[in-house]
Structure 1
Amino acid sequence: MTGPLLPSDPSSIGGHRLLGRLGAGGMGVVYLGRTESGGLVAVKVIQADFAADSDFRTRFRREVQAARRVSSPWAVAVTGADPEADEPWLATAFVPGPSLAEAVGRCGPLPVRSVRVLGRMLAEALREVHAQGLVHRDVKPGNVLLAVDGPRLIDFGISRSADDTVITSADVVVGTPGFLSPEQAQTAGGPPGPASDVFSLGCLLAYAATGRPPFGTGTADALLYRTVHDEPDLDGVGPGLLDVLRSCLAKDPARRPVPERLAAELVEDAPRGSVDWLPEEVVRLIADRSAELLALPDIEPTVAEPSDATGPTESARQEERPSRRRLLALTGGAVLLAAGAGTATWAALRGGGEDDRTAGPRPWAIGVQADLSGGSGAAGRAQEQGARLAVEQFNRRAGRPFELALRTADDGGVPARAAAGAKRMAADRDVLAVLGPTTDDTALAVLGSYDEALLPLLCVSAGGLNLAAQEYRSFLHCRPSDAAVSVPLAVYLAASGAAGPVGVLQDRTGEQYAWESAQITASMLRLYELPLYPRVVPAGTENLRPVVADMLRAGVGSFVYAGDPAGAARVAKELAATGFSKPRLAPQAVLDPVFTREAGAAADGWVVAASFTDPAALPAAKAFTTAFRERYGSPPGYYAAEAYDTANLVIGELVKAAKAKKGGRPSRQELVGLLRRSTHQGVTKRFSFKPEDGSFAGQGVFFHTVENGAFRFLGRAPAPPA
């Protein structure tokens, strides 16, 4: 997906006209560009600060040389580069499709035949890479893009020849933990060879087949250890694929198949250029991404067949509109649509379009998509109540410029229901912004739908880093990420002066959340030069006594648990049984009645970081708390005040837009821009965002503690020094 260019962005680079942003990171920006001949390219531009480093420039020059040497239909082609420019750049053919990571994350694991076809084509790409004397060294789902005519292996940034001098220190692991080989994980084991890429390909195919990495998730250290010592988790891999993956994932490089043999073992009947080997949902995702190109500036539809001067009627175009598979077969990956049908097809694929020319006044509405009836229903209902209170208060204002409605969608915390609810919400042309959903899983299920409709989505409670793994055009994150919420734990411990190493226990029952929390805590502790004693336990571990005993024997002077509230309760009881009363901390997931109920008195004294407040204990929220009690007959739950603030943020920007447009309502796209540039002082915190991606730019982490079996709000958590 593309985002708009920022005022600081150049209009062209190396003869490429820039059309939008494909992504941005710490090292630079990737733009969507257009060549003088009209072709689309991805232009990777490195920041001048990095280019000033001679070693970095040498690595970038090597990336260009490596990528240019690879010629394969399944590897992205280099179209231009200037590694000597003040800001070095590299242009490659643009692939208008999702990454394998996104496709599996959104659509689920691929069937066996799809994985075999994918494996064959990627094995052929690696055969060409290795034939040029190169080793890719970062074969992972994020580095495989799915196009209409097959996958593309991208990012040769750390590829190198067998005789290259390694431009990294001896103890640096190059690659992505969880998708690298044992020889890469063992930095003293010598440089990885071509067999290393085969191992990584095996990890990638296992992920495609099961939806999870074969060595699990967790801290980098834990992943590296399991890669070297543990057998891969291949449960759920179907017949016809299991033996192939086992051979690819052999610990001994000599026992792995070479790409030529692997490609031969994975032969499937999938004609080149066909998408029939992919599930319908993935094909639809590829089609939607391809169709988005029609909305980019100055990309004019190419006439694929002649039409008469008048052209078909709109009803005729509706009848002739092809299926996504047919559309892709006709376009051949270049998104070539007949001029007469291009706009109609784009509108059908995109959905949720605005048309301010509709006669007569239309109601203004904001939506709340939340879990109102499932396992996270308490948080979802609190958000709906907070947003509704804000809307009702606005509608009682004298002289208000419009009446505001609230629309709700109960997804029950189920991703499939969430996706259907998002489509219904997006199809309601009167809904101008949506708050929600409640959980990470449901948020990931709906981000694409809201983005297609350019409908602002403001997440109040979902907080995983995976929400920011891709740049969305209409997303606003109204809270710090889960990782950011864990940062103050290390700040607190650095100020506490506790003796001994900090024990950090990652419970894999907490899945991605536990990994993020443990990883950022460990990183911050190292930044503060505090000694660390990390441990990881498998998911579902009931008896935590041995690991707690081991950590106490190591002399830990404080304890951080990253996992779920039930696991935290077990840890709390084990620590209490030994009389351990030194600092005990946990991230937000533990702030749950399950923890205090199951831990009992052992929970007292624990400190928990969270992205939400207790409005009943917050002086600035006194008026809100009073109004909430009057409206609902009970005190506000967690996230009610945050949703109230978020709704008022939206209302404030709608009022400004109405004044600027003399009573006219803004389009959804206009509202996205207004919201991303806005600031709002709510009763809980100050809201602000990074305009380029909608990520939260304010401070909003709070500490709670447990006293007499109940959580007590302590206030704002300490921030790291600037």
Structure 2
Amino acid sequence: MTEKLTPSDPARIGGHRLLGRLGAGGMGVVYLGRAESGELAAVKVILPEYADQPEFRARFRREVAAARRVDSPWAVPVTAADPDAAAPWLATAFVPGPSLAEAVATCGPLPSRGVRVLGRMLARALTAVHDAGLVHRDVKPGNVLLAIDGPRLIDFGIARATEETALTSADMVVGTPGFLAPEQAQAQPASPAGDVFALGCLLAYAATGRPPFGTGAVDALLYRTVHDEPDLDGVPDDTRPLLERCLAKDPAARPTAREVDETLVEDTPHDSVDWLPDAVVRLVADRSAAILALPDIDATALDAGADGQPRDVPADASTPPRTPSRRRFLLSGGAALLAAGGGAALWTARRGDGTAPAASARARRWILGVQADLTGPQKTVGQAQERGIRLAVELFNSREDKPFTLTLNTVDDQGDATRAAKVARTLAADRDLLAVIGSTGDATTGASLDSYDEQLVPQLTASSAQSVYGTAQPRHFLQAVPGYTILPATAAFSVRTQGARRVGVLIDRDGGIPAWELGHTMFQNLGVLKIAGEPRVAPRLAGNLAPVVAEMAANRPDAFVYTGTPARAAAVARALAQTDFNGLRVLGYPAAGPEFLTTAGAAADGWQVFAPYIDPSAAPVRAFATAYRKRYGSAPPYWAAEAYDVARMVITRLTEAGGRPSRERLYDLLAKGTYKGLVRPYAFDEEYGSLKGYEIFRYEVKGGRYSYVGQVDF
């Protein structure tokens, strides 16, 4: 649950003894602390570069004052703060439970009564926020924590008084796309009605397991929020009318938070978890048990006494650090309540004297995790990546001068998002895990983000190119592959270089987020290059695409672009072959599988593919291909070299650390440096963790196979 303190971390903040790190972001560090009363707190400390800005310090002071005015049992209270300290800090009551986002991703949607109870308690929390003259502005599943005695609304970091002037620019959109009111999506001032809209989105997510305006690119999410009706299929009939009112486009047509509370006719449970499914109760109880088994307090360089020895640590290094005689942890309902929800481990976690079990004395292992689809729909890619990573680890371990031995721990998520969340949570719980490479697909990568991020595990994907992953906010995630919204820039440039000045773009909704992001961004980049683009969007349920293809070909374009699925790509290729079109043909790479070649037949010839993976026979990866063939007895498939590169990058950073690094230290080494791999250089955007650079490779179908043309110059 927590990461160990680093030597540079403080030992105490404002009377709180720090126990470990809960997380770190662009604004500061959040610690787990224990107040002098024995109660646990989340202590947020602002980075010096922000503390030195008068405007930011004013905003932080306002944040503290705003949060203190909120009085609700369902909103996490501020317990202490010092906005004027050299390093401003804010402490709130610590909630050990999972977020609603993680609970739904791991255990599935809540039952009908659970949605109503959740809605009523959160409506009461928002009523308290609004009564205090505030607007939360970021109500979403990740900002709701589930505790044994009910949910808690957290993160008032961007809440502000409605009468005050924002310190952000007038056209800045604040909040999370997909849980953002239409007026906020259009950069209009936030209001309590916007919070109610977000609550409606949150409850729809809790009831169905998906946001009502879908997922995907930010601009697409904002467009659907403003113009489309929400997807409420699966929302219980007794709740749907209320959610439809909450999600009204007109803010004046929405109920107030107090009216939502009054409309949801459901008893609010007191010290009871019967409104939550058993699987969620067990998840909540397991988190609480983990907190009761907190490790011994870590000494830091800033905790030294006059004799140079860390305070609270005996001078005799062989003597275990002194721990409190009793670990105080307050939970409503007591042992019987937790045991009823599967949480008896809370109490067995203690020793007879009330302290946590001693930490294992064994030497810690160096583990690199792999999460991949090894047996599901993307098993070809997943197996190729697993082999590439395994080869990198084996070659490193065979070195006589290796500074450590690396162990590989592989899990198969089968390409299923629900299973991905579960296996990620299990893998992330291994305290010896340093980093994980995975997952293979977009949905499984998104589903695993929260599990790895809450344990501060650096997660790198070599193949998932999506630009937005649902409700997650990855902070320890690196996308070591050009994104769907990056690749079209290179493809559009190449299309222009090949002489095209008028391009038809067919975006097939059946291809999901990859098809939309590739096609939409391709159209945008064509415009930047002064190329006339003619887009068409095919509905997911469209049967025959031949009429659309014929209509587009009749407009005499120089090039034709299709983004969608392999099966429908083959139908499009055959339909285009029936016209007199003889220009460039470009296929979005997710549709460029073996099925396209076999189903399209002769109509596949001439189609070009712009892909982020290099051909295994290319000169830059020839040595890798030789080693792969020697190890596995066959030539490497696509995507193996990229995974090998990412594994080598992690190994190199571990070696450069000069000792076993913390997970956060390893993430910093990975995120801030540049690694020259065989396929491409790997450098990352510090804010988003996305790959910098435009290294893309072009293929052309010739004689029923994908023929490698080479890297595209850009």
Could you give the per-residue CA deviations for residues 601-657 of structure 1, whole angstroms, max 9, x where no partner exists? 4673534231x322212x233233234445545321122334445566677789999
User: Which residue number in structure 2 is paired with residue 177 of structure 1?
Assistant: 177
1:702 aligns with 2:701: no
Q: Give, in angstroms, the shift of residue 430 of structure 1.
A: 11
Specify the code of the residue in structure 2 equivalent to 1:138.
D
Residue of structure 1 aligned with 2:221, choices 220, 223, 230:
223
Q: CA deviation at 1:538?
A: 4.8
Match of residue 315 from structure 1: none
User: In the alignment, which residue of structure 1 is the partner of 2:381?
Assistant: 379
What SS is found at the alignment partner of 1:282? helix
For normalisation by structure 1, the TM-score amounts to 0.73
In 1: Cα distance, 2:402 partner to 2:191 partner: 68
Amino acid at match of 2:44: V
2:356 alignment counterpart: 343
Structure 2 Cα separation of the partners of residues 226 and 649 of structure 1:
39
Distance 1:531 1:263, change over 3 A: farther
Correspondence for 1:490: 489
The residue that corresponds to 2:318 in the other structure is none
Deviation of 1:275 after TM superposition, in Å, equals 3.0
Q: Does the CA-based 8 Å contact 1:303-1:338 persist in structure 2? A: no
Once residues 67 and 76 of structure 2 are traced to their aligned partners in structure 1, the CA distance between those partners, rounded to angstroms, is 8
Whether the 8 Å contact between 1:487 and 1:521 is mirrored in structure 2 is: no
Quote the Cα distance in structure 2 between the aligned partners of 1:519 and 1:284: 43
Match of 1:613 in 2: 614
Cα distance, 1:699 vs. partner?
A: 6.2
| CA distance in structure 1 between the partners assigned to 2:406 and 2:45 by the alignment | 44
Q: 1:486 to 1:428 in 2, by over 3 A?
A: closer
The gaps in structure 1 that reach 5 residues or longer are 307-319, 348-352
SS state at 2:238 partner: coil
Deviation at 1:120, TM superposition (A): 0.6
Which whole-Å CA distance do the structure 2 matches of 1:217 and 1:61 have between them? Answer: 35
What is the TM-score of this pair, normalised by structure 2? 0.73
Per-residue deviation, 1:574: 7.0
Write the mapping of 1:393-408 to structure 2, written as runs, cut at 5 A.
Answer: none
Q: Is the 8 A contact 2:281 2:342 kept in 1?
A: no
After superposition, residues 157-236 of structure 1 pair within 5 angstroms as 157-165=157-165, 172-185=172-185, 191=189, 193-236=191-234
User: What is residue 314 of structure 1 aligned with on the other side?
Assistant: none
Give 1 or 2: higher helix fraction.
1
Q: CA deviation at 1:22?
A: 4.1
Match of 1:274 among 259, 272, 275: 272
Amino acid at match of 1:231: E
Q: Choose the corresponding residue for 1:466, options 450, 469, 478.
A: 469
Q: Secondary structure at the match of 2:374?
A: coil
Q: Is the 8 A contact 2:326 2:354 kept in 1?
A: no
CA drift of 1:431 comes to: 9.4
Contact preservation (8 Å) 1:501, 1:557:
yes
SS state at 1:237 partner: coil
Against the structure 1 CA distance between its residues 238 and 132, is the aligned structure 2 distance closer, same or farther, given a 3 Å change threshold? same
Partner of 2:128: 128
What is residue 303 of structure 1 aligned with on the other side? 326
Report the equivalent of 1:138. Answer: 138
User: In terms of mean alpha carbon deviation, does 427-436 or 207-216 score higher?
Assistant: 427-436
**Structure 2 CA distance for partners of 1:305 and 1:25, relative to 1, 3 Å:** closer
Q: Does the residue aligned with 1:606 lie in a helix, a strand or coil?
A: strand
Give the 3 Å change call, closer, same or farther, for CA 21–365 of structure 1 in structure 2: closer
> Are the structure 2 counterparts of residues 64 and 391 from structure 1 closer, same or farther at C-alpha, using a change threshold of 3 Å?
closer
User: In the alignment, is the contact (CA less than 8 A) between 2:487 and 2:518 conserved in 1?
Assistant: no
Is it true that 1:110 corresponds to 2:104 in the alignment?
no
Deviates more, 1:219-228 or 1:233-242: 219-228
2:31 maps to a residue whose letter is L
User: Residue by residue, what CA displacement relative to the aligned partner does 1:656-686 show, whole Å, maximum 9, x if unpaired?
Assistant: 99xx99xxxx899799789959987654455
The farther-off stretch of 550-559 and 172-181 is: 550-559
Conservation of the 8 A alpha-carbon contact between 1:23 and 1:471: no
Check if 1:622 corresponds to 2:622: yes
1:29 aligns with 2:28: yes
Aligned counterparts of 1:171 and 1:454: Cα–Cα separation in 2: 33
Tell me which amino acid in the other structure corresponds to 2:379.
G
Whole-Å separation in 2 of the counterparts to 1:615 and 1:94: 50
Shift of 1:119: 0.2
Q: In the alignment, is residue 74 of structure 1 matched against residue 74 of structure 2?
A: yes
Q: How many angstroms does 1:112 deviate by?
A: 1.2
Once the 2 structures are TM-superposed, how far is the Cα of residue 69 of structure 1 from its aligned partner?
2.2
**Secondary structure at the counterpart of residue 127 of structure 1:** helix
Amino acid of the residue matched to residue 117 of structure 2? Answer: V
1:101-155 per-position Cα deviation (integer Å, ceiling 9, x unaligned) = 2322232211112111110101101111222233333322222222332222233
The alpha-carbon distance between structure 1 residues 381 and 596, as it changes in their structure 2 partners (threshold 3 A), is same
The CA distance in 2 between the partners of 1:433 and 1:622, in whole Å, is 27
Aligned in 2, Cα 1:47/1:684: closer, same or farther, shift over 3 Å? Answer: same
Out of 331, 355, 359, the residue aligned to residue 362 of structure 2 is 355
Tell me which residue corresponds to 1:92. Answer: 92
SS for the counterpart of 1:466 is coil
- Assess, with a 3 A threshold, how the Cα gap between structure 1 residues 628 and 177 changes in structure 2: closer, same or farther: closer
Check 1:522–1:168 CA distance in 2 against 1; reply closer, same or farther (3 A cut).
farther
Partner of 2:263: 265
Give the SS at the match of 1:40: strand
C-alpha RMSD of matched pairs (Å)? 5.4
Paired amino acid for 1:150: G
1: CA distance between counterparts of 2:434 and 2:156?
Answer: 42
Asked if the contact 1:487/1:524 (under 8 Å) is kept, the reply is no
**Which amino acid letter does the alignment assign opposite residue 213 of structure 1?**
P
What do the CA deviations read for 1:339-394 (whole angstroms, capped 9, x no partner)?
Answer: 646534x98xxxxx78339xxxx9x9977654333322212332344455556667
Partner-residue secondary structure (3-state), 2:356: helix
Q: For residue 31 of structure 1, what is the amino acid of its counterpart? A: V
SS in 1 for 2:697: strand
Equivalent residues of 2:327, 2:354 under 8 A apart: no
Contact 2:97 2:145 in 1 (8 A): yes
What is the letter of the counterpart of residue 238 of structure 2?
Answer: G
Judged with a 3 Å threshold, the aligned counterparts in structure 2 of structure 1 residues 195 and 328 are, in CA distance, closer, same or farther, namely farther
Give the fraction of aligned pairs with identical amino acids, expressed as a percent. 50
Task: Evaluate the alpha carbon distance shift between residue 544 and residue 61 of structure 1 in structure 2; reply closer, same or farther with a 3 A threshold.
Answer: farther
